């Protein structure tokens, strides 16, 4: 028995020495033999070290034995492990973002990024300019809406986005296009039916629009918030100041197709209308925490005119916080449209050491009157469906465009609100 044990030990030691010689597939790299788990396990919290043992054992087996070395990607293995862990929570709002995507999300939510001022769309493995930001570098350089982007610097776009989902393709291409203000970028683009052309331009700081406003006939202030970014309240304040110069008789807040955004941005937006409870937050222990509105700058007076809020099935999260709070706390508020999405939970974003982030659900929220909306949404006071057969008799607001030869748009929800305001006079 001793002899067998000695043979086994000698064999094991011989195997390890052989693995560390340059003539082996492992080229002397001990990490490729034992895997990082042997060292990293020392950093695993003691209370769960035994539970993690099968994970590290699996990592070590793959890393040391799997025959096709080219298919081993440690980054993907780690991301897959994190994704799998979070998937067990059965919460689609809790997820991991890899570093490039996390950086882009941070820029987007700040409302400002270094780039050339375009939005992308993808179809059939190709990338196109969806929209241009006015006065951005791309717009000034002659790049047009629907131009195909063939190449970014030395990177062929078709190769970059091949076999990627739309989201992953957008992340990969955006990472190439974005950059610090003042740096150069060269694109090869093509307008349909014309030869491809090369465009070299300088990146600039791009303000990502999230608020649009205009004065409609009858002294009606119209605001559309597309997302609650960090700078959304500041941009909204500009519109409020503009309308303060000439009195308005009513206000329309359009939150249709508004997926949400930052909770503190929603609290600041609510501060333009009233002082008090913005929402209640319910955490693990079930206790309610009151979150209040944030007052605007001293030079801005709070809104006092009748308020109408447009909502639809894509009004979610922070837009539901605002719509629900205003109905509960701003007298006479009316919600017009269709049932909202129903996202009544809150996520926080936690940075990781590799530059990635985890977005983790930390609580659920209730309206000031303590109404739960998660999974059900807000029911409008007046339900108006977006009837495709409706007449085009409304002003064209936000990104709506009239049909050729017409000046008005089909927007039955806005038409209903304008009728309600007209009846008050």
Measured in residues, the chain has a length of 425
Q: pLDDT by residue (tens digit) across 351-384?
A: 999 999 999 999 999 999 999 999 999 999 999 9
Q: Is residue 164 part of a domain?
A: yes
Domain closes at, from 169, 187, 207? 207
Same structural domain for residues 244 and 197? no
- Looking at the predicted structure, is the pLDDT value of residue 5 above 80? no
Positive/negative CA dihedral, 146, 147, 150, 154: negative
Closest CA to 177 of 190, 167, 188: 188
Model pLDDT, residue 108: 87
Q: Is 328 a catalytic residue?
A: yes
Q: Is residue 248 part of a domain?
A: yes
pTM: 0.80
Domain closes at, from 52, 87, 122? 87
Model pLDDT, residue 31: 39
Same structural domain for residues 129 and 260? no
Domain range for 189 is: 112-207
Regarding predicted confidence, which is higher, 37 or 287? 287
Residues 219, 207: Cα–Cα separation, whole Å: 28
- Please list the residues that pair with 112 across neighbouring strands: 207
- Looking at the predicted structure, is the pLDDT value of residue 399 above 90? no
Q: pLDDT by residue (tens digit) across 307-353?
A: 999 999 999 999 999 999 999 999 999 999 999 999 999 999 999 99
Same structural domain for residues 166 and 314? no
Q: pLDDT by residue (tens digit) across 121-137?
A: 999 999 999 989 989 99
Same structural domain for residues 285 and 238? yes
Q: Is 301 a catalytic residue?
A: no
Q: pLDDT by residue (tens digit) across 227-265?
A: 999 999 999 999 999 999 888 999 999 999 999 999 999
Domain closes at, from 53, 87, 121? 87
Residue from 315, 317, 319, 411 carrying the catalytic annotation: 317
Model pLDDT, residue 24: 36
Rg (CA), the chain: 28
Same structural domain for residues 250 and 358? yes
Model pLDDT, residue 387: 86
Closest CA to 415 of 182, 220, 196, 125: 220
What CATH number should be reported for the domain holding residue 283? 3.90.226.10
Q: Is 131 a catalytic residue?
A: no
Contact between residue 357 and residue 105 where contact means Cβ atoms under 8 Å apart:
yes
Q: Is residue 223 part of a domain?
A: yes
Residue from 63, 107, 312, 328 carrying the catalytic annotation: 328
Q: Is residue 174 part of a domain?
A: yes
β-bridge pairing 392-394 and 409-410: antiparallel
Residue from 139, 174, 204, 343 carrying the catalytic annotation: 343
Q: Is residue 94 part of a domain?
A: no
Q: Is residue 96 part of a domain?
A: no
Residues 225, 124: Cα–Cα separation, whole Å: 31
> Hey, how many other C-beta atoms are within 10 angstroms of the C-beta on 249?
13
Residues 12, 292: Cα–Cα separation, whole Å: 65
Q: pLDDT by residue (tens digit) across 44-84?
A: 777 788 888 888 889 889 999 999 999 999 989 999 999 99
Number of domains in the chain: 3
What CATH number should be reported for the domain holding residue 122? 2.30.42.10
């Amino acid at each position: 028995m001793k002899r067998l044990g000695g043979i086994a030990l000698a064999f094991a030691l011989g195997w390890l020495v052989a693995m560390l010689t340059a003539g082996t597939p492992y080229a002397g790299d001990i990490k490729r033999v034992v895997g990082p788990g042997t060292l990293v396990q020392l950093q695993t919290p003691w209370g769960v070290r035994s539970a993690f043992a099968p994970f590290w054992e699996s990592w070590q087996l793959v890393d040391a034995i799997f025959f096709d070395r080219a298919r081993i990607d440690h980054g993907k293995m780690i991301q897959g492990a994190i994704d799998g862990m979070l998937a067990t929570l059965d919460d689609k709002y809790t997820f991991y973002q890899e570093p490039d995507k996390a950086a882009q999300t941070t820029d987007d939510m700040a409302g400002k990024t270094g780039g050339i001022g375009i939005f992308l769309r993808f179809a059939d493995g190709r990338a196109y300019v969806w929209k241009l930001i006015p006065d951005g570098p791309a717009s000034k350089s002659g790049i047009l809406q629907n131009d195909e982007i063939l190449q970014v610097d030395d990177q062929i776009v078709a190769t970059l986005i091949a076999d990627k989902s739309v989201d992953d393709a957008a992340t990969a291409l955006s990472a190439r296009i974005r950059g610090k203000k003042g740096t150069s970028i060269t694109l090869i683009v093509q307008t349909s039916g014309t030869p491809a052309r090369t465009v070299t331009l300088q990146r600039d700081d791009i303000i990502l629009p999230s608020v649009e406003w205009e004065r409609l006939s009858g002294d009606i202030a119209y605001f559309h918030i597309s997302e609650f970014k960090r700078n959304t309240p500041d941009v909204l304040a500009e519109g409020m100041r503009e309308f303060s110069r000439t009195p308005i008789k009513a206000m329309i807040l359009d939150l249709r197709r508004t997926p949400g955004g930052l909770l503190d941005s929603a609290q600041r937006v609510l501060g333009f209308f009233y002082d008090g409870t913005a929402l209640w937050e319910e955490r693990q222990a079930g206790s309610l925490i009151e979150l209040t509105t944030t007052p605007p700058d001293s030079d801005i007076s709070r809104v006092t005119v009748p308020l109408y809020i447009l909502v639809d099935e894509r009004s979610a999260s922070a837009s539901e916080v605002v719509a629900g709070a205003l109905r509960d706390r701003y007298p006479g508020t009316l919600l017009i449209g269709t049932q909202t999405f129903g996202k009544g939970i809150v996520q926080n974003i936690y940075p990781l050491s590799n530059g990635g982030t985890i977005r983790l659900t930390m609580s659920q929220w209730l309206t000031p009157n303590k109404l739960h909306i998660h999974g059900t949404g807000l029911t409008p006071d007046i339900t108006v469906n977006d009837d495709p057969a409706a007449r085009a008799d409304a002003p064209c607001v936000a990104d709506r465009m009239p049909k050729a030869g017409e000046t008005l748009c089909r927007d039955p929800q806005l038409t209903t609100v304008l009728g309600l305001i007209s009846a008050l006079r």
